[in-house]
Structure 1
C-alpha cells in the first residue's frame, strides 16, 4: 500500500509547493510510482509539473464534487513514474459548495482509496490555510510533512498547525502521524538560519529531516519552465538536496 504524505503549513511562502513538486519528482526519479495531488486553488504544483492548469477538463475540484471519477481526473505528466491530479482556480469555490455534503471531510480519502495501491507514494500539496481542503488532505494522509522556512517567525503558526493535526487525528483520522519537519530556504551565509534550525530542534518534539533545502535561484526558476529541479538543473544544489530528502523519506522504516 502506498504511503500518503500531506505537505502542509498554513503559512504561505515556506517552500511547500516547491517541496511537493520536487520531492514527488525525485521519488519518481528513484523508481517509485508517485501520484501528486494538488489541493491548492492556485494550482502552482500543477503548472510546476508542466501541466497547463487552464486547459483541464477534470481537476480535483470536479473530483470532490463527484463530477468525475478519480481515474478521469488523473493526468500523466511527461515525467516517468509521476501522475498528477491537477488543480486550478475553480477549486477556490469548493469550500462553499461542499457545505451541505455529508461526511465532506472524507471526500478525497474515499476517492484516493480506489487507487492508492497503484502507487508507492501519494504526495498531497495543501493550500496555505487550515480549511476544508486541508482537512480533506489530512484525513486522506498517513503522515504530514511540514516545511519550515529558516526565518525569524518560523515557529509562528506552527503550534496552530500541530493543534489542527492533533484534532484531525482525534476525530477523523486516528492513524495520522507527523512525518517530520524539513527546513527550506536555508541561507548558510546568515546566523539567523542557523539559529532558527537550533530553535526548532530545541522546541519541537518531532522528527526533523537531516536534509536542509538551501535558498537557490535555480529552485526558484524551475517552476516557471514547468519543470522540477532535477529536470531543470540536475546538478544544482537544489536538485541534490531534494534527492537526499527523497532518499530519507524512502528509508523511513518507523512509519
Structure 2
C-alpha cells in the first residue's frame, strides 16, 4: 500500500464511515444503556437498596462490554460491505501487480449481486462469530481461566473470522463459496492466525483499524493467492538486465619451444 498512495486514500473512506457509525452507536449505548436496563428489568424495582442498583449497574456494564465485543467482531464485515467497490478495486490492483501475466480474476456478476452475496456471507460468518463470542463471554466469568486463557482464545477466534472476512474480497471474485473458504482457512490455521490475530489485537483501537484496513485487504489478497496455490511474483524492485558483453577473441596458442640449433650456428640470424 505504501507504493500506491491513491489506492490507500480511497481505501480509508469506508473505514472512516463505519467508525463514525459505530462511535455514535457506542455513545448512545453509554448514555441510554442504564435506562434500557431499567426498562428491561422491572422485577428489580421493588428490591431493597443497594441490590437493585448493583444488579442493574452490572447488567449495564455487561451490555456495554457485549456491544464493544460485537463492534470489534462486526467492524470488518460492515466496513467491507460499505466499501465493497473500493476494496474490490484495491484487491484487483494487488492481483495485477503480483500476477506473472499482469491479469486479475474478475467477477461477471453485477454490483448489486456482489453486494447481496457479500452481505449474506457476512451474516453467516457473523452468526458463527456470535456463538463463539457469547461462549467466550460466559467463560470469562470463570475464575483465573476466564482472565488468562479465555482472552487469548478470544483473540485467536477473532483473528480467524477477521481473516475470513478479509480474504472473502479476493476469493469471492474467484467464485469460492463461504464453505469452501472456511475449508481453505482451516487447512492453514497457522498462517491464518499469524495474519489475523495481530490484526484482531490492533483492531481493538478503532482508529488503528481504519488506517490498517487497506493494507489488510491487500495482505488478504496475497493470502488468497497462496491458499489457492496461484503463482505470485516478487514485489521488490526489478533487476536490471545484464548488458551483453562483446565476444572475446580466443586466447593465442602457447608459443612452441625453439628446436636446438646445430653446433657452430650460434649468433646466425635465420
Q: TM-score higher than 0.5 here?
A: no
- What's the TM-score, normalizing by structure 2? 0.20
More helix by share: 2
More strand by share: 1
Larger CA Rg, structure 1 vs 2: 2
